Each structure stands twice: as structure tokens, then as C-alpha cells.
Amino acid sequence: MTLVKFNNRRFPWLGDRISSWLDTNDFFADDFFTKDANLPAMNIKENETNFEVELAVPGFSKDEIEISLENDMLHVSAKKSKEQVEENDKGYTRKEFSYNEFERKMLLPPSVNKEEEVKATYKDGLLKVQLAKLADAQEPPKKVISIE
């Protein structure tokens, strides 16, 4: 059996940049949902009392992740570098290094309570950030109106 890698680009001979520019699959895509491979996948949930932001950041430790809140912006970034040097007695040397980082900024809605403590947890590659809502921004209960 032969395994063949699937190439889904419409114009592979033009390269990635021109191919993605001419590709019509994402013609109506919103800029909010970027497809940058360097950015972690993100989910945002709105509950009655808070907002929950989840980011998939496997391979980082919680000490390498930085979260800040400034001027209505939530800023999440991480940076990791690793260097491995291997030498032996015959004069051969191998040196491998890798760098991995991301930076993501999100504009917060005015209903976020910036005075309340922001809670963040990191477990098994999933970063969860909870932002409290203002008391007056919480949705009132649904009111049913009868038709006469």
C-alpha cells in the first residue's frame, strides 16, 4: 500500500502566498478567526456571571505563560527555548535548538469587570482564564409577553 500526502491547495505551483490569496474557500472568512498556525486554538464562552477564555497551549509550562490585562485588552503570551548539545570522544558534535512562542491579544467587551480578580488555571495543555462580568451587565431573566 502506498501513502500519498493530500494536497488541498488549488494552485500548488504558485506557492502558498499566492495560492491562499486566490483560494475562494475562505472568501467570506472573518478576520476574528485567524488561521495562523502559530496561534493557539481559542474558545470563548459567555456565562451569566463571567466570560471563560480557553487556549490550547500544549508543550508549555505555566511558568512560561504570561497573562496581563491592560486598557481593555487581554494579553496572553508564552515563550520557550530549548538547546541540546551532544558531544562524543571522536570530535563529532551535534547541537539542536528550538524556539517556540506565541502572542495573542483580545479586545474585551465593556461588560467585563476589570476591578474583579481574573482567575487563570493551566492543566494538561489547556489554559483557562475567567473574567467576571459587571453586575449590571448580567442578563435579566427572560420576560414572556402575551399577545392580545
pLDDT tens per residue across span 35-77: 556 788 999 998 888 999 999 999 899 999 999 998 889 999 9
CATH number, domain 32-135? 2.60.40.790
State the average pLDDT for the chain.
Answer: 78
Torsions phi, psi for 21 (to 5 deg):
-70, -40
Sheet strands (E) in the chain = 42-46, 50-56, 65-70, 73-87, 93-107, 119-123, 126-132
Q: For residue 49, which of 145, 129, 134 has the smallest C-alpha distance?
A: 134
How do residues 47-58 score in pLDDT, each as one tens digit?
Answer: 888 999 999 999
Residue ranges of the chain whose pLDDT lies below 50: 1-6, 19, 26-32
CA–CA distance, 15 with 19 (Å, rounded to integer): 6
List the chain domain ranges: 32-135
